[in-house]
Structure 1
Amino acid sequence: MSKTCVTAQVIEHSTIVGDVFELVVTAPEIASITRPGQFVHIRLADTLDPLLRRPFSIADCDAAKGTLTIIYRVVGRGTALMTKLRPGDNIDCMGPLGNGFALTGQRPLLVGGGMGLAPLVMLAKAFCSRPATVLMGGRNEQELFWPSIYTSVCQNIHITSDDGSVGHRGFTVDILPELLKQDKFDIIYACGPHAMLKGVAEAAARNGIPCQVSLEEYMACGVGACLSCTCASSSGKRHKVCTDGPVFWAGEVAW
């Protein structure tokens, strides 16, 4: 898979809600070859602390403008430092990394939980001629800011929240069986917490629907050298999520 390491310039950086931010950078060399589901590995250009890069899903990509959009939550020192970036600042950006989604099917269902909805934005846009249905979940109403991002490309959106503050009270997998009865989806894509992915994969298998999952793992190198992001496979071998994934067919993963 082609990848490159570039100095990307920040052109927009804003707060979406609370500790969630949207970062837009110019990286035409990466944007021109990015596919939905791939990610970038970022290091702040002016510091070696923290030393290791951080992986971020690519939420959107504009090849014509040469831009990448990243939606991230502050979870540690690296992302806390990122919040200080301003337009005109530079970051060290490597990508696109990993394998993206297979754009098959005519009636796709996208299932995302929490920040797992970030890589599904670009995927939803890729299905503009055959609009996707989206099932999204989060802890509460504040965490579910996603509908405003998805409505420009998807009209059929279903929402669940753990506390019932918006949409259906419960988890995405609670209403998934009913959705699968209502419509004849021919492929399911999912990204989010492991428990959610397991539930989606099992529901897809019961209904005979092909399913791809995007796994979230800690990564150090992003290129398959350090083995810090391996996961168990159904074949008994270990998958390297950064290079074999992060997108897998659900049947390839040992749940």
Structure 2
Amino acid sequence: MKYTQGLYPIISKKSIAAEIYDMTIRCPHIAGAAVCGQFVNIKADGFMLRRPISICGIDKEKGTLRIVFEVRGKGTKALSQLSEGQLIDIVAPLGGRGFTLLEKDKKAVIIGGGIGNPPMLPIAEHYGKNAVVISGFRNASAVILQKDFAASGAEVILCTDDGSAGRKGFVTDALAEVLQREKPDIIYACGPSVMLKRIILQAKEAGVKCEVSLEERMGCGVGGCLVCACRTIRDGEEYYAHVCKDGPVFDAEEVLFDD
């Protein structure tokens, strides 16, 4: 895993929902090396541990990365207070394994839950009209990136727990309906573990390849601290992989969830 640490300028920053921020960072070397599904580890002033944030967009020609993150504590609150023109300290691109992108004419179902939606945008942009994007949120105030997903050309299905935007229900309900009408070549998902667990079962029952991006607390982000261990299985044997180094993307059949 090759990565770079440095200070890079924020060229745009805006709030896109309650406590959710969208930043674009100019970092040509990192953007040139990044792949879909990787993440950055950002240092917030006054905090020892960096904050891992998924990559929402990669523009290799412009040399930029886009990140979308939610304020979940004092560290991300400090990051949200940075402004355009300021420098941000990042280590990237991180993640030994990103998403596997098939040929653009293949059929894909792309599923994001809450803040698990941002890393799914580059996948939608890859498949375009051959993708179905299912996004799930708590309520209308938490909805993000729907115009971006629609701009990719994908079919977009919005779900909210309370029905205040889109359709009422869970992403797994929408996935069941999609799988009834067609069999895609691959399913991608990122979000809460309870959501991923159900999606993996649905994909297995439908006989569809599935990849999931796991979210775990991290320290170093490069495999040194061993904080982000997750249970996986390979060749019939259970072992602990590390989300930062061995993932964050895993084949669905490799992932084990604690009951």
Describe the SS at the equivalent of 1:223. coil
1:206 alignment partner AA: E
Q: 1:146-175: CA deviations, max 9, x gaps?
A: 311211103411121100112221111122
Q: Which runs of 5+ in 2 are unaligned?
A: none
CA distance in 2, matches of 1:77, 1:31: 27
Q: Which runs of 5+ in 1 are unaligned?
A: none
Shift of residue 93, structure 1, vs aligned partner? 0.9
* Structure 2 match to 1:232: 231
Shift of residue 2, structure 1, vs aligned partner? 2.2
Q: How many aligned positions are there?
A: 251
Shift of residue 127, structure 1, vs aligned partner? 2.1
Q: Which has the higher helix share?
A: 2
Shift of residue 102, structure 1, vs aligned partner? 0.4
2:33 alignment partner AA: I
* Structure 1 match to 2:188: 189
Percent identical pairs in the alignment equals 39
Aligned with residue 104 of structure 1, among 102, 105, 110: 102
1:132 alignment partner AA: A
Is the CA contact (8 Å cut-off) linking 2:162 and 2:169 kept in structure 1?
yes
Is the CA contact (8 Å cut-off) linking 2:107 and 2:127 kept in structure 1?
no
CA distance in 2, matches of 1:104, 1:200: 20
CA distance in 1, matches of 2:178, 2:195: 16
Describe the SS at the equivalent of 2:116. helix
Alignment of 1:10-29 (within 5 A): 10-29=10-29
Describe the SS at the equivalent of 1:86. coil
Describe the SS at the equivalent of 1:119. helix
Describe the SS at the equivalent of 2:23. strand
Aligned-residue RMSD, C-alpha: 1.2
**Does 2:139 correspond to 1:137?**
no
Describe the SS at the equivalent of 2:201. helix
Moved over 6 A (4+): none
CA distance in 2, matches of 1:133, 1:181: 13
Aligned with residue 249 of structure 2, among 242, 247, 251: 247
Is the CA contact (8 Å cut-off) linking 1:10 and 1:90 kept in structure 2?
yes
Q: What is the TM-score normalised by the length of structure 2? A: 0.94
Shift of residue 144, structure 1, vs aligned partner? 1.7
Shift of residue 104, structure 1, vs aligned partner? 1.9
